[in-house]
Amino acid sequence: QSVLTQPPSVSAAPGQKVSISCSGSTSNIGNNYVSWYQQLPGTAPKLLIYDNYKRPSGIPDRFSASKSGTSATLDITGLQTGDEADYYCETWDSSLGAVLFGGGTQLAVL
Amino acid sequence: QVQLVESGGGVVQPGRSLRLSCEASGFTFRNYGMHWVRQAPGKGLEWVADIWNDGNNKYYGDSVEGRFTISRDNSKNTLYLQMNSLRAEDTAVYYCARDDLNLGNAMDVWGQGTTVTVSS
């Protein structure tokens, strides 16, 4: 059971929008930056979002994120079949003194 | 180009030891903190350990504390993970990742991973 809670799976049709939530607490999401990673099948994770909502260069603006209180959300618009992957939120937990990953969310583009 | 290459994985018996390496290239290694992250078969990502750029501060996940040691040699641009008293539940793909302070300590560069299998 992860300290950061994500839905195990989400799905949507091509071209649609999907949102992936990440719920935590004041010791982690509430007081620290959140990052999001995409892991395509059989590959290493890739940074999608840092500092709660910022995109590294090369990440399309179809990917956006936000944070409110102790929860964070990743939004993906204009879904493509190539977006099918596992998505993970990540942050630091000040009480545990540890990096935390969410349990991951598998995205299906139907 | 910026690259991380892990090595050292393999099949090892429970209770034995293994050392993983992660060789960095394309950036100034000594300026960055580094992480080890693992992924058990069919499971999610689990943070293992991290080390500051100068090697003076290290942090560990609860599941490996006291058994694993993270270290680095900035003269060789290499990160290490010494794994002792290995257990079946340590079976995973182990990734090294760069920590970028300018990106809110996000892990912005990842290696391809090296597989560790703990089995008798």
Query: What's the whole-number average pLDDT of chain A?
Result: 96
Residue B34, SS3?
strand
Confidence band of A1 (pLDDT split at 50, 70, 90): confident
Of the candidates A33, A99, A102, which has its C-beta nearest B104's C-beta? A33
User: Is the model's pLDDT at B10 over the cut of 90?
Assistant: yes
Give per-residue pLDDT as tens, A18-58: 999 999 999 999 999 999 999 999 999 999 999 999 999 99
A93 in contact with B, Cβ within 8 Å: no
Apex B37 CA angle, B31 and B43, nearest 5 = 160
Residues in chain A closer than 8 A to B35 (CB atoms): 99
Report the mean per-residue pLDDT for chain B.
97
User: pLDDT tens digits for B67-115?
Assistant: 999 999 999 999 999 999 999 999 999 999 999 998 989 999 999 999 9
pLDDT reading at A2 higher than 90: no
pLDDT at B28: 97
Considering Cα of B113, then B116, then B117, then B118, what sign does the dihedral take? negative
Q: Where are the beta strands (DSSP E) in chain A?
A: 9-12, 18-23, 34-39, 46-49, 63-68, 71-76, 85-93, 98-101, 105-109
Q: What's the rounded Cα separation, in Å, for the pair A30 and A72?
A: 9
| Burial state string for A15-24 with b = 16 or more CB within 10 A and e = fewer than 16 | eeebebebbb
pLDDT of residue A103: 97
| pLDDT tier at A83, thresholds 50, 70, 90 | very high
Distance from chain centroid for Cα B38? 8
Longest pairwise C-alpha distance within chain B? 44
A 23-82: CB under 8 A from B:
33, 35, 37, 39, 44-47, 50-52, 54, 56
Token pair, residue B72, equals 């680095």
Torsion B24-B21-B32-B35 (CA) sign: positive
Interface contact B105, partner A, CB < 8 A: yes
> Would you say residue A63 has pLDDT above 80?
yes
Determine the pLDDT at residue B8.
97
